[in-house]
Amino acid sequence: MKALVAVKRVVDANVKVRVKPDNSGVDLTNVKMSINPFCEIAVEEAVRLKEKGTVSEILVVSIGPKEAQEQIRSAMALGADRGILVEIADEIGALEVAKILKGIVEQEKPELILLGKQAIDDDSNQVGQMLGALLGAGQGTFASIVNVTGDKVQVTREVDGGLQTVELNLPAIITTDLRLNEPRYAALPNIMKARKKPLDVKSPADYGVAATTKLKTVKVEPPAERKAGVQVKSVDELVAKLKNEAKVI
């Protein structure tokens, strides 16, 4: 079966971001960018399913700026077979991203669609669920175990009280949680090979979607700073402070 994996180019997880002085957004000039960590887990899961013989082809898709080609190439170095970049100029909404992905799914007809559970920049956690709705397909969100058998997939999901297992008809959407797997590192020969894999560049209009959103970001501010704390020297001092100063115990 064919697997489609969606990946997003985001600021690297280790970067401490700064808000721009004019409050228009976060300053991303000269900041290291990477594949969103959850998307990387989705790629790894697709590659493992290919190694098991369940998946025959892995298509990786990114919707983003021209530079998102780098993230598609990274996914190819991990084992994806070909890529589609849907080039956009500005950030678009999760609903529009889901609509573009729906267009690609209808053309490519993958049976498994893997996404990260959320992007670490906008922290929305929406696209997979929205795509499920648009396709009328089942969704296994926050997946920590994925088992494909025949025309069904069993997904163990991380829920608030523990774990829940559901069974979905294929095609199905799976969004990955951190504990699904540990992504491998790309070996140099694979990085070289990835350069030669096919990569199509498309636009949202190719899928009949307007690259826009009805959510307007009015401003972006830094969070309120906590006032500086104090170092206590002993347990006695700590207990005294918690009782008399903070009054929380």
Partner 1 sequence: MSILVIAEHDNKALNGATLNVVAAAQKIGGDITVLVAGSGAQAVADQAAQVAGVSKVLLADNAAYANQLAENVAALVAQVGTGYSHILAASTSNGKNVLPRAAALLDVSMISDIIAVESPTTFKRPIYAGNAIATVESSESIVLATVRGTAFDPVATTGGSATVEAVSDVQDAGISKFISEEIVKSERPELTAARIVVSGGRGVGSGENYHKILDPLADKLGAAQGASRAAVDAGFVPNDMQVGQTGKIVAPDLYIAVGISGAIQHLAGMKDSKVIVAINKDEEAPINAVADYWLVGDLNTVVPQLASQL
Residue numbers 165-204 binding partner 1 by CB under 8 A: 165-169, 172, 177-179
Task: Pick between residue 14 and residue 196 the one whose CB is nearest to partner 1.
Answer: 14
Q: Indicate whether 35 belongs to the interface with partner 1 (CB under 8 A).
A: no
Question: Which three-class secondary structure state does DSSP give residue 9?
Answer: strand
Which residues within the stretch 107-126 sit at the binding site for partner 1 (CB under 8 A)?
117-118, 120-126
| Residue 31: Cβ within 10 Å count | 13
We find the least distance from the C-beta atom of residue 91 to partner 1, in angstroms, to be 11
Q: Smaller CB distance to partner 1: residue 81 or 139?
A: 139
**CA dist 239 to 138, 188, 232, Å?**
52, 55, 10
Distance CA 187, CA 198 (A): 19
| Count, residues near partner 1 per rule CB under 8 A | 79
List 40, 132, 146, 181, residue binding partner 1 (CB under 8 A): 132
- Kindly state whether residue 248 participates in binding partner 1, applying the rule CB under 8 A: yes
Residues 63 and 216: their CA atoms lie apart, in Å, by 19
- Token pair recorded at residue 214: 């009805």
Take residue 30 and report the two structure tokens written for it.
């000269």
User: Least distance to partner 1 from the beta carbon of 205, Å?
Assistant: 19
Listed ranges 43-51, 54-62, 68-76, 241-249: which one lies at the site for partner 1 (CB under 8 A):
241-249
To partner 1, the closest distance from the beta carbon of 239 in angstroms equals 5
CA atoms within 13 A on the CB side of 74: 24
The whole-angstrom separation of Cα 173 and Cα 114 is 6
